[in-house]
Amino acid sequence: MDPRFITYLEKTLKEVSIDCVIFGFHEGELKVLLLKWKGTEWWSLPGGRIYLEESADDAVVRILQERTGLKEIFLQQFYTFGGNDRYKNTPSQGLREKLEQLFGDDFYDEKYMKRNVSMGYMALADFEQAVTTPDWYTDECKWWEISAIPELLFDHNEMIERALKALRRQLSYQPIGYNLLPEKFTMPELQRLYETILGKQLDRRNFQKLMLSYDILEKLPEKRTGGAFKSPFLYRFDKEKYDKAMQDEILFSV
Amino acid sequence: MDPRFITYLEKTLKEVSIDCVIFGFHEGELKVLLLKWKGTEWWSLPGGRIYLEESADDAVVRILQERTGLKEIFLQQFYTFGGNDRYKNTPSQGLREKLEQLFGDDFYDEKYMKRNVSMGYMALADFEQAVTTPDWYTDECKWWEISAIPELLFDHNEMIERALKALRRQLSYQPIGYNLLPEKFTMPELQRLYETILGKQLDRRNFQKLMLSYDILEKLPEKRTGGAFKSPFLYRFDKEKYDKAMQDEILFSV
């Protein structure tokens, strides 16, 4: 190979890993799955690397299955993080020493930090079905409420911000909720999901009218019973129409 | 370093490059800038690699400036291509031989092909201002109409499809046009831009009503003269309001 080209490759080698923002919805709260690094109090998003024979999409399916036990999961790329200071929030003590102890002195060398680019994927997981398992670096998994997320390692707080933004955008052209709600749900539960994602209160009547206009909901003959108030109707998504709306995207409505 | 970790790194090393879908708008047509590879009839998107000291965003600004001469350009990531068969559309003859001749036998070895992940950026360029320049691999630059794009190298046709889809989505939450239209334009010119991106005709009255409702346009006292028909009014974007709409995003409108 042309030596000029080898030099060029060496000067430009950046390598890729994956980080996952796994959202779950439970008791009216949007949550994110975080991992605690071995022997520290530092939390991060779950992630991993891509095997040579895998595509990035294969790798993320594998990583999610390893962390949550779930196979059928809504997944999409939301942003790739290619900054040069992604590791600035690496604690100089504690975690770093712990990692060096576990993996060797040059585990966190500066070159690695400058070379790593991370593909951010977001996943919508069925909270009730997920069985969480920590990875090689970590010894605890926990669902954190969006509003209570601590300071995370690396650029992982920014990752969650970006994933939330992507989720909000998605509401403007695709339906949401199939993977986040139980099979049968009430209109107030669906509204609560939208409100949690958007971070604001919505008008009850307008919300119901808009949702029904999308023609993706099936109203069930049953009602939710047991509450103190008037029993609300139950709905479920018409999967065929829902999938079609996902495909078609609700675009610029001139 | 723990030898298990070194083995893991070797098995999972994927590296990153950048490809750019540069859109321009000229004479009522949306166009994309393509490059022809030296001594071949094969076309591809412009792209490049990221220097160690650069962020991905720095690199794409540099690449775009090298290819178009433009500094102020609308730029955003739209998708990162992490497939395992991205290079299947590499011609076994012609280009490959040419590349091996230029760069050596192992330039296109299978390992490289399986290791490369590409960050896709789209750019909206001012067609009139761009001065295009080919790169190391190529000897011709040309703007191609979207509808006439030939079969491209690698997965570059898919990249253009994805970029167009991202551009269409963007219309549902952000204004568009500032970087694609001349400073002053008529409502039919703006409509033509939207129609070209969406790939469908829009109703003239509804379009005008919607556009004015966004409150980002400034109606000028001048008219476009010289045409055969009634002279249309000229508009320009109110940059402050336009930037605010870009920031705020026009979301889920309950």
Domain with B194 in it: what CATH number? Answer: 1.10.10.10
Q: Point out the domain boundary residue: B144, B170, B196.
A: B170
Co-location of B128 and B50 in the same domain:
yes
Co-location of A21 and A93 in the same domain:
yes
Residue B177 lies in a domain: no
Query: Least CA distance to A3: which residue of chain B?
Result: B103
Co-location of B123 and B152 in the same domain:
yes
Q: Point out the domain boundary residue: A111, A146, A170.
A: A170
pLDDT surpassing 50 at residue B254:
no
**Residue B185 burial class via C-beta count within 10 angstroms: exposed 0-12, middle 13-18, buried 19 and up:** buried
Better-predicted residue by pLDDT, A5 or B62: B62
Secondary structure letter of residue A105 according to DSSP: T
pLDDT surpassing 50 at residue A208:
yes
- Domains held by chain B: number: 2
Phi and psi at residue B141, in whole multiples of 5°?
-115, 140
Range of the structural domain that residue B193 is part of: 185-248
Give how far B124 is from chain A: nearest CA, Å. 19
Co-location of A191 and A82 in the same domain:
no
A20 SS3 class = strand
- Asked if B248 has any chain A CB less than 8 Å from its own CB, the reply is no
Looking up residue B93, the CATH number of its domain turns out to be 3.90.79.10
Co-location of B102 and B226 in the same domain:
no
Better-predicted residue by pLDDT, A70 or B96: A70
**pLDDT for the residue B251:** 42
Q: What is the pLDDT of residues A152-162, one digit of tens each?
A: 999 999 999 99
Q: Per-residue confidence at A213, pLDDT binned at 50, 70, 90?
A: confident
- Check A52 against B12: CB less than 8 A apart: yes
pLDDT surpassing 50 at residue B252:
no
- Asked if B224 has any chain A CB less than 8 Å from its own CB, the reply is no
**pLDDT for the residue B128:** 83
Residue B136 lies in a domain: yes
Better-predicted residue by pLDDT, B107 or B156: B156
- Check A55 against B82: CB less than 8 A apart: yes
Give how far A132 is from chain B: nearest CA, Å. 23
pLDDT surpassing 90 at residue A27:
no
pLDDT surpassing 90 at residue A30:
yes
Residue A93 lies in a domain: yes
> To probe the interface with A, which of B172, B173, B254 has the most A CB atoms within 10 Å?
B254
Arithmetic mean of pLDDT, A198-204: 89
Least trusted range by pLDDT, from A165-169, B80-84, B113-117: B113-117
Q: What is the pLDDT of residues A49-70, one digit of tens each?
A: 999 889 999 999 999 999 999 8
pLDDT surpassing 50 at residue A184:
yes
Averaged pLDDT score across all residues of chain B: 86
Co-location of A141 and A225 in the same domain:
no
pLDDT surpassing 80 at residue A194:
yes
- A 10 A CB-CB count for B248 gives 10
Co-location of A98 and A34 in the same domain:
yes
Q: What Rg do the C-alpha atoms of chain A give, in angstroms?
A: 21
Least trusted range by pLDDT, from B113-117, B147-151, B188-192, B235-239: B113-117
Q: What is the pLDDT of residues A223-238, one digit of tens each?
A: 887 766 677 899 999 9
**pLDDT for the residue B89:** 79
**pLDDT for the residue B246:** 86
**Residue A102 burial class via C-beta count within 10 angstroms: exposed 0-12, middle 13-18, buried 19 and up:** middle
Residue A253 lies in a domain: no
**pLDDT for the residue B248:** 78
Co-location of B46 and B118 in the same domain:
yes
Co-location of B214 and B117 in the same domain:
no
Q: What is the pLDDT of residues B168-225, one digit of tens each?
A: 888 877 888 888 888 999 999 999 999 988 888 999 998 998 889 888 999 999 888 7
Q: Which of residues 125-164 of A touch B (CB under 8 A)?
A: none
pLDDT surpassing 50 at residue A252:
no
The token duo for A119 is 């593909």
Q: Dihedral sign, CA of A72, A75, A81, A82?
A: positive
Residue A175 lies in a domain: no
Residue A36 lies in a domain: yes
The token duo for A189 is 């539960």
Least trusted range by pLDDT, from A83-92, A93-102, A228-237: A93-102
**pLDDT for the residue A251:** 41
- Check B16 against A14: CB less than 8 A apart: yes
Range of A85-89, A120-124, B50-54, B224-228 with top mean pLDDT: A120-124
Residue B3 lies in a domain: no
CA distance B156 to B158: 5
Q: Per-residue confidence at B18, pLDDT binned at 50, 70, 90?
A: very high
- Check B15 against A11: CB less than 8 A apart: no
Co-location of A165 and A71 in the same domain:
yes
Q: What is the ipTM of this complex?
A: 0.85
**pLDDT for the residue A253:** 39
Co-location of A143 and A234 in the same domain:
no
Q: Point out the domain boundary residue: A170, A201, A222.
A: A170
pLDDT surpassing 70 at residue A215:
yes
Residue A177 lies in a domain: no
Co-location of B166 and B214 in the same domain:
no
**pLDDT for the residue B7:** 79
Arithmetic mean of pLDDT, B143-157: 94
Q: What is the pLDDT of residues A124-147, one digit of tens each?
A: 988 888 899 998 888 999 999 999
